[in-house]
Structure 1
Amino acid sequence: TSAPGSVAQVRECAAHLTRAAKASGTAIVLVGHVTKEGALAGPRVLEHMVDTVLYFEGDTHSSFRLIRAIKNRFGAVNEIGVFAMTEKGLKGVSNPSAIFLSQHSEPVPGSCVMVTLEGTRPMLVEIQALVDSGGPSPRRLSVGLDRDRLAMLLAVLHRHAGVACMDQDVFVNAVGGVRISEPAADLAVMLAITSSLRGRPLPKGFIAFGEVGLAGEVRPAPRGQERLKEAAKLGFSVAVVPKANLPKKNDKAFEGLTVHGVDRIEEAMELARSLA
């Protein structure tokens, strides 16, 4: 008897559907929409009653769609599904790394590839940076990465590596519309910014990952061996990683990949300069 869309009605309808699903052993999918802030529209009580909340995301200019689990009672919430919209409907993408890498015939300044983890799946993502002369109040803009973390990384870059961007506009983008929330992207972001500022591209087949602290130290990233194996499988040849993520010697899974371990950000910058 409640008004349509009220909390009481939503809760009662969801309870009826839940009982019907359990009684018949049928999976029921409730489809809703999200607000401008990205939250589920309507009473949030629905999220607490269902087993899984999935977000189906996509850019209007791209044929790729991502499915993310925000809540999952029976599995991990940090998994991602990548699908391509074709003339025959949605098809699963077996190699998601390919869509997050730009196709450059030759290395370009301001581009650095990193290996991120989406749940249990390592994926290669290209980080692009553009550093340009700014006015009295330079802009800091990031797409797919945390803007506050970008400001912190610029401060670390200036203090510990001597790379100043105080009078420069800095734009950072994760290719393909992917969102990177883990700090393992820090090293790749800083190398891309330095590459753009100096106008010198990183070498071909180059990847980097690692967390950078305020003291300038490069901290290990979780599951570093799996990240390196994914890079070696896709034909990358040079990697700069934290020393704690160095692979064991004589491991054939890393054949063709030369891995350099660093402890501090200034070491990484010097190594990237010598490799370029």
Structure 2
Amino acid sequence: MSKLKTKYICQECGYESPKWMGKCPSCEQWNTFTEEIYDKNIKKTNMGINRSFYTKPERIRDIKIDKEDRISTNINELNRVLGGGVVKGSLILVGGDPGIGKSTLLIQVANNMASTKLRVLYVSGEESAKQIKIRSDRLDIDSENLYILPETNIEVVKKSIEDLKPNILIVDSIQTVYSPQLTSAPGTVSQVREITSMLMGISKSLGIATFIVGHVTKQGAIAGPRVLEHMVDTVLYFEGERHNTYRILRGVKNRFGSTNEIGIFEMRDIGLVEVKNPSEMLLSGRPMNTPGTIVVPCMEGTRPMLVEIQALVSSTVFGMPRRVATGIDYNRVVLMMAVLEKRVGLQTQNMDCYVNITGGIQIKEPAIDAGIICAIASSFKDKEIDHNTIVMGEVGLTGEIRSISFIESRLKEAMKLGFTKAIIPKSNMKGLNIDNKKMDVFPVGNIIDALDIVLGG
């Protein structure tokens, strides 16, 4: 028997090496090489061009397009993230931490689509048919057009697709499916790349909308080669704390829609339930008349949301004060504290400072800068802020408050929830159309004026 031939492949970028290396020379990551078996005697496919049939170049003005056909998932939050529904023939990658609810979401999507007379094939490489049935009974899922296939061999999956001819295909997960033509183990770079390529070909040629689940690494990125995210049409990340009931579905890539939209769900015993009013959810249980808390309107795509920023400033007992930020960029908090010290005169160099965005969500837009400063100043001075007040605006290093986008959408969302006082950038007043009877709007040009209004000087 001939000796097996092996090579080493980087699990991050797919770089191949005849021997093991500690650091990948391509992506410069450490300890990413794994040994895989290969056979030099396997004949490679003929990559030459078949002259009898090939694609011809076309003028762009001669190309005819139709509005892409979309299939509703009957889940409004998911439709919003996808850009209005699932496009036929698209390949959608869903990633997230273990136990976050990826399989629960997709089995609900499968049931909803099967209920509209669409044929759905759910391929599971991690659970048996009976295990899926137990979960389906708990979620009250029992559609006659939903088919379950517990299989990891891609050849068997392809045969089932040919026989069943489904409209929707769900593969859970891509790391468990393998091709017997490759000698490497399931989940390796070569297997994931090959399986994804096969599924993409099936989706495009037969017009099947395909969902694939991807595992994530310790760093939170989808496991496997980075090319995996480039091959698919849409990449969705399911976020949230496992011990928190709320989940956020965020699109980070979408060829058929915006990548700024998010969907919010609540995990219950009956499955994932849409949160139709996220502002009300995020502000539930908000303390009234307490120093160090303020409400800020932020934008996620086209959706305005009200979030609560909490700050706690206390004397440090260590030689170096602590700075802790949750749900917001740590460096942004340090920057705002420097502005407070230099431009306002609040001496916080010997104080611990903790800033938190309630609800377990991440906010990255700079429009919450003014809210961070007001919350920190309120806790530092131990002065409460009127609970009917909202603050918004980007803060520069000189203490000026700059204009922000979607100002009217933010104000209307605040008025809907009963807020009566708003502090906004002065430059946003031009062309502003708002009902002054329902809300008092205070335009400010710098952070000192904003603090004078919210804290009374």
| TM superposition score category, shorter chain reference | over 0.9
Name the counterpart of 1:111: 293
**Contact 1:100–1:178 under 8 Å retained in 2:** no
Name the counterpart of 1:148: 331
Decide whether aligned partners of structure 1 residues 84 and 247 sit closer, same or farther in structure 2, where only a CA change above 3 A counts.
farther
Aligned residues: 274
Name the counterpart of 1:256: 438
Residues 1:3 and 2:184 are matched in the alignment: yes
Name the counterpart of 1:190: 373
Name the counterpart of 1:25: 207
**Contact 2:408–2:432 under 8 Å retained in 1:** no
**Contact 1:57–1:65 under 8 Å retained in 2:** yes
Structure 1 residues 105-254: aligned runs within 5 Å: 106-134=288-316, 135-246=318-429, 251-252=434-435
Please state how far the C-alpha of 1:221 moved relative to its aligned partner: 1.1
**Which structure has the larger Rg?**
2
Q: Which runs of 5+ in 2 are unaligned?
A: 1-181
Runs of 4+ in structure 1 over 6 Å off:
none
Task: Provide, for residues 198-231 of structure 1, a one-character-per-residue CA deviation record: whole Å limited to 9, x for no partner.
Answer: 1111012111010000011000111111111111
**Contact 1:246–1:259 under 8 Å retained in 2:** no
SS of the aligned residue for 1:31 comes to strand
Please state how far the C-alpha of 1:160 moved relative to its aligned partner: 0.8
SS of the aligned residue for 2:386 comes to coil
SS of the aligned residue for 2:242 comes to coil
Structure 1 residues 47-126: aligned runs within 5 Å: 47-104=229-286, 106-126=288-308
Distance in 2 (alpha carbons) for counterparts of 1:104 and 1:117: 20
Name the counterpart of 1:37: 219
Greater relative contact order (CA < 8 Å, ≥ 6 in sequence): 1
Distance in 1 (alpha carbons) for counterparts of 2:309 and 2:342: 22
Please state how far the C-alpha of 1:13 moved relative to its aligned partner: 1.3
Please state how far the C-alpha of 1:88 moved relative to its aligned partner: 2.0
**Contact 1:246–1:260 under 8 Å retained in 2:** no
Distance in 1 (alpha carbons) for counterparts of 2:269 and 2:286: 28
**Contact 2:384–2:455 under 8 Å retained in 1:** no
Q: Please tell me the residue identity of whatever aligns with 2:203.
A: A
* Larger CA deviation: 147-156 vs 238-247: 238-247
Please state how far the C-alpha of 1:86 moved relative to its aligned partner: 2.2
Please state how far the C-alpha of 1:154 moved relative to its aligned partner: 0.6
Please state how far the C-alpha of 1:33 moved relative to its aligned partner: 1.7
Decide whether aligned partners of structure 1 residues 43 and 149 sit closer, same or farther in structure 2, where only a CA change above 3 A counts.
same
**Contact 1:225–1:247 under 8 Å retained in 2:** no
Please state how far the C-alpha of 1:194 moved relative to its aligned partner: 0.6
Q: Which runs of 5+ in 1 are unaligned?
A: none
Decide whether aligned partners of structure 1 residues 226 and 18 sit closer, same or farther in structure 2, where only a CA change above 3 A counts.
same
Decide whether aligned partners of structure 1 residues 250 and 146 sit closer, same or farther in structure 2, where only a CA change above 3 A counts.
closer
Distance in 2 (alpha carbons) for counterparts of 1:196 and 1:187: 14
Distance in 1 (alpha carbons) for counterparts of 2:244 and 2:324: 22
Decide whether aligned partners of structure 1 residues 44 and 235 sit closer, same or farther in structure 2, where only a CA change above 3 A counts.
same
Please state how far the C-alpha of 1:89 moved relative to its aligned partner: 1.5
Identity score, percent: 46
Task: Provide, for residues 238-267 of structure 1, a one-character-per-residue CA deviation record: whole Å limited to 9, x for no partner.
Answer: 111111223757733x54111101001111
Distance in 2 (alpha carbons) for counterparts of 1:100 and 1:248: 30
Task: Provide, for residues 56-94 of structure 1, a one-character-per-residue CA deviation record: whole Å limited to 9, x for no partner.
Answer: 112122211110011111111111000112222111111
Please state how far the C-alpha of 1:23 moved relative to its aligned partner: 2.6
Judging by fraction of residues, say which structure has more helix.
1
**TM-score, normalising length: structure 1:** 0.94
Name the counterpart of 1:273: 455
**Contact 2:400–2:446 under 8 Å retained in 1:** yes
Distance in 2 (alpha carbons) for counterparts of 1:128 and 1:105: 10
